[in-house]
Amino acid sequence: MPIHNHDITEIFEKVADLLEIEGANPFRVRAYRNAARVVGGMSQSLADLVARGEDLTRLPGVGQDLAGKITEIVKTGDLGLLKELEGRTPPALARLMNVAGLGPKRVHILHEKLGVTTAEDLKAAAQAGKVKELKGFGPKIEALVLEGLVQLAAAGKRFKLVTVEPVAESLRQHLQAVPGVDQVIVAGSYRRCKETVGDLDVLVTCEAAFRVLDALVSYEDVSKVLARGDTKSSVVLRNGLQVDLRVVPQESYGAALTYFTGSKAHNIAIRHLGVQRGLKINEYGVFKGEARVAGRTEAEVYAAVDLPYIEPELREDWGEIEAAQQGRLPRLITLTDIRGDLHAHTKATDGRNTLEEMAQAAKGRGYEYLAITNHSKRVSMAHGHDAKNLAAEMAEIDRLNGKLQGIVLLKAIEMDILEDGTLDLPDEILKELDLTVCAVHYNFNLSREAQTERIIRAMDNPYFNILAHPSGRLIHRREPYDVDMERLMRAAKERGCLMELDSQPDRLDLIDIHCKLAKDLGVKVSISTDAHSTADLNYMRWGIGQARRGWLEAPDVLNTRPWPELKKLLKRI
């Protein structure tokens, strides 16, 4: 049974969550959260390293204890400590962490103070007004919990794109290795780079369908076979992800790929254009009467309705067809357009690498610059900088820039926006920086008006440059705070401020529709990684996928510029 890095990450996250629900020592909890983060940022397959007998302690951030636990997970598929914790914690209690407004600390309090164990217990307590009476909760949290319970009941199981990718790629390689197989492609929302994926649609062209279908149902990661036919099969993988595989003839490949890539709304619009031209368009091809007139490639399908090829990320029926008809399709940004990263952390606060290590890693990616944005003092758990520590870091950056070649470290800060809209550090130190990345890290439950005003007041400060992870959401873990995003962007445009697209795969914030809104309003976007290690610099590709879904082109993105041009764009006074 294959073990992917994300499997190890999820196990460490579960251990941390369950320890926190139990009220364990915070340092022990943090150790497992750090372990999850270390593994999640690694590009190498840890299972492969274990199989080759390599010393895991040579990897950054991996000590003897962590190496032993990784090896145990790879060899057994589980961790004894996790089984022990799960045996002590009711499963329904652990599931409450999926409710908006709750994390392991609050679940611990609810269990300890109110005896809450299940979603039903929680609903009854909230409806009775008992939740708001607990310290650290209040009426807003109680209302958020009730809303979160409704959302939890209605939500289907979806998986983060970063979780799905290694699973999809391993399966694709497995199928590609089958004799006689020509093309294997994963379509659906995965191909459109949606931030979450419900299932995988896999298309294959091959000489003998039975071989590839046999290869799917016998794949070692399959836990259940739902259906097995002559040209298609459906299975459920060990992590709960459903895979639907279809073998299609080469002459229908483009039509099938268009159809199964979606979205449904986009396909309906394309079929409507076909009807207007006397054509029938489906997954088998484009037909004029009984004759197939196109369908071998996607370009053929679009050409049949007088359209140029439309990139998968745009296929949401958000105006892409009209843009194609008018010759206005965006030339979407690519990873090669990026010249640097404007949000990265070091060991000085909550990162895992030194300044020089981060600089050399960024240089290795071909970047011209890297902004060091360690936290400001309000984020005390991350040992955020006060003015004195920031000044010392700036001096260190100047010294390092004196010897670095081929890359420039930018002096910056990830600075808290306080509840009253002031910034966490004084202007006297901020004016010495190359840029600021400003963020809301607490008091998420303000009203829409108050939260919006809070951020706009912060933008009034002439040393405010970029609004970091603008909605504050964490996918599957924390809902976005309530804010008027259009009003924020108009305020940013008026003041010369910019918006961040945080590429961290738990965030992907800005969301796609807000990327498009920024483009439409003429607000520039920074695509940054929020890297806490050298490995995290790889997150840029997730941000690029999100940006492409939001119609962003290279000129829309701040960090496609060389540093001299970027410096001018950042200058407000």
Q: Which domains does the chain have, with CATH numbers?
A: 5-154 (1.10.150.110), 159-247 (3.30.460.10), 252-325 (3.30.210.10), 335-570 (3.20.20.140)
pLDDT of residue 240: 85
pLDDT of residue 151: 65
Residue-by-residue DSSP string for 302-362: HHHTT-----GGGTTTSSHHHHHHTT----B--GGG--EEEEE--TTTT-SS-HHHHHHHH
Residue bearing the bigger pLDDT, 459 or 39: 459
Per-residue pLDDT band for 98 (boundaries 50, 70, 90) equals: confident
pLDDT of residue 300: 97
- Percentage of residues in the chain with pLDDT exceeding 90? 67
pLDDT of residue 414: 97
pLDDT of residue 23: 84
pLDDT of residue 152: 65
Which stretch of 29-43, 61-75, 146-160 has the lowest confidence by average pLDDT?
Answer: 146-160
Which stretch of 79-83, 185-189, 415-419, 559-563 has the lowest confidence by average pLDDT?
Answer: 79-83
H/E stretch holding 140 reads helix 139-154
pLDDT score of 336 more than 60: yes
Tell the burial category of 438 from Cβ atoms under 10 Å away from its Cβ (0-12, 13-18, 19+): buried
Tell the burial category of 278 from Cβ atoms under 10 Å away from its Cβ (0-12, 13-18, 19+): exposed
Task: State mean pLDDT over 438-467.
Answer: 95
**3-state DSSP of 203-236:** EEEECCHHHHHHHHHCCCCEEEEEEECCCEEEEE
Per-residue pLDDT band for 144 (boundaries 50, 70, 90) equals: confident
pLDDT of residue 156: 56
Number of Cβ within 10 Å of residue 19's Cβ equals 23
In whole angstroms, give the CA distance from residue 439 to residue 441.
6
Q: Over the chain, what is the mean pLDDT?
A: 92
Render the burial of 315-328: b for 16+ CB within 10 Å, e for the rest. bbbbebbebbeeee
Task: State mean pLDDT over 159-181.
Answer: 94
Task: State mean pLDDT over 325-348.
Answer: 97
Task: State mean pLDDT over 486-496.
Answer: 96
pLDDT of residue 569: 92
pLDDT of residue 153: 63
**3-state DSSP of 373-403:** CCEECCCHHHCCECHHHHHHHHHHHHHHHCC
Torsion sign, CA atoms 164, 350, 44, 86: negative
pLDDT of residue 26: 84
pLDDT digits (tens, 9 = 90+) for 368-424: 999 999 999 987 766 789 999 999 999 999 999 999 999 999 999 999 999 999 999
pLDDT digits (tens, 9 = 90+) for 234-266: 999 988 899 999 999 999 999 999 999 999 999
